[in-house]
Amino acid sequence: MPLEQGRVSVLDRGFIFGDGVYEVIPVYSRRPFRLAEHLRRLQYSLDQIKLATPHDEAAWTRLIGELIARNAGEDQYLYLQVTRGPAKRDHAFPQQVTPTVFMMSTPLAPPDPVLKASGVTAITAVDNRWLRCDIKSISLLPNVLLRQLAVEAGAMEAVLLRDGFLTEGAASNIFVVKAGALYAPPKDHLMLAGITYDVVVELARQDGMPVHIRPIAEAEVRAADELWLTSSTREVLPITALDGQAVGTGRPGPLFQRMDALYQAYKATTMRG
């Protein structure tokens, strides 16, 4: 149906409690990108909040195919949300409830080439979110507030630090390049396991770039030769200024150029199927 005709109960636990999870899946040339991985992460998030999946993998795949087919663009991004459903307001799980599934498609434009050519700016912020950032929860108020801090500082992203270590961005994962090697924090309860993160790590390893997955201290972030942010809709972007200081040379670095080429080539192969 047209988006503006969608209706959800005001008693929906997604609305009342933020009791739900979501996914964002890019679609290139009408093919969902890394669909199996997105569906696996959705199942993981549902399992973590103890919500039985309303559809098995085959049914999700069918619904996603239908959503893509019913929308015009070659490139789209799909937003898919599952909440625990409508029930009398009570924190504890309701006995009998039907989950609410909402899916929408939005046209997807590739990142502006200007952003890749000049880089984006970021600020650091204290990661004051909860201790289950591995769940792709629709309760995004902390992320919203952190991202707004960045916007108010004239920056695109907030790079989050918890107890002196890098976690991720407010809506992205963060990579550090130092002396020709790529560094990323380990996937744990303090960050979302990005699908793009996995693609970047895989492509870097295949290309022979040294990759180190380990905790990254704040000082290493500030001394980076390059910083990248990754997400499904923004792909890989170079951060060229952090807290008003140039990152490395202040220009997108050679490893970013290499990774962007690898990423675009990989996208192209998935489009051909």
- Do residues 214 and 178 lie in contact, with contact meaning Cβ atoms separated by under 8 Å? no
Among 32, 99, 194, 253, binds ligand PLP (CB under 6 A): 194
Residue in 50, 88, 116, 136 annotated catalytic = 136
Instruction: Rank residues 121 and 172 by Cβ distance to ligand PLP and give the closer one.
Output: 172
Please pick, from the candidates 46, 108, 166, 171, the single residue that binds ligand PLP as defined by CB under 6 A.
171
Assess 122 for contact with ligand PLP (CB under 6 A): no
Smallest gap from Cβ 25 to ligand PLP, in A, equals 9
Q: Which of 103, 173, 203, 221 contacts ligand PLP by CB under 6 A?
A: 173
Separation CA 228–CA 236 (nearest Å): 6
One character per residue 129-148, x = contact with ligand PLP (rule: CB under 6 A): --------------x-----
Give yes or no for a contact between 19 and 13, defined as CB atoms under 8 angstroms apart.
yes
- Quick one: which of 218, 206, 224, 213 has its CA closest to 184? 213
Q: Which distant-in-sequence residues (6+ apart) come within 8 Å of 37 by Cβ?
A: 195, 198
Listed ranges 54-62, 79-87, 96-104, 228-236: which one lies at the site for ligand PLP (CB under 6 A): 228-236
Q: Cβ 133 to ligand PLP, closest distance in Å?
A: 7
Burial bucket for residue 48 (CB in 10 Å: 0-12, 13-18, 19+) = middle
Q: Which is nearer to ligand PLP, 171 or 182 (CB)?
A: 171
Distances (CA, A) of 3 to 16, 20, 71, 77, 103: 21, 20, 11, 14, 10
Near ligand PLP by CB under 6 A: residue from 14, 230, 237, 238:
230
- Shortest spacing between CB 269 and ligand PLP, in angstroms: 18
Q: Which residue, 97 or 140, has its beta carbon nearer to ligand PLP?
A: 140
Q: Round to the nearest angstrom and report the end-to-end CA distance of the chain.
A: 29
Q: CA 36 to CA 123: how far, in whole Å?
A: 33
Task: Provide the minimum distance between the beta carbon of 194 and ligand PLP in the complex, in angstroms, as a whole number.
Answer: 3
**Beta strands in 34-127, from DSSP E residues, in sequence order:** 76-83, 100-107, 120-126
Q: Which two tokens stand for residue 192?
A: 């979302």
**Does 116 qualify as catalytic in the annotation?**
no
Asked if 192 interacts with ligand PLP (CB under 6 A), we say yes
Q: Indicate the residue among 251 and 267 with the shorter CB distance to ligand PLP.
A: 267
Backbone angles phi, psi at 194, to 5 degrees: -70, 140
Please tell me whether residue 196 binds ligand PLP under the rule CB under 6 A. yes
Q: Hey, which residues are catalytic here?
A: 136
Interacting residues toward ligand PLP by CB under 6 A: 24, 143, 168, 171-173, 192, 194-197, 230-232
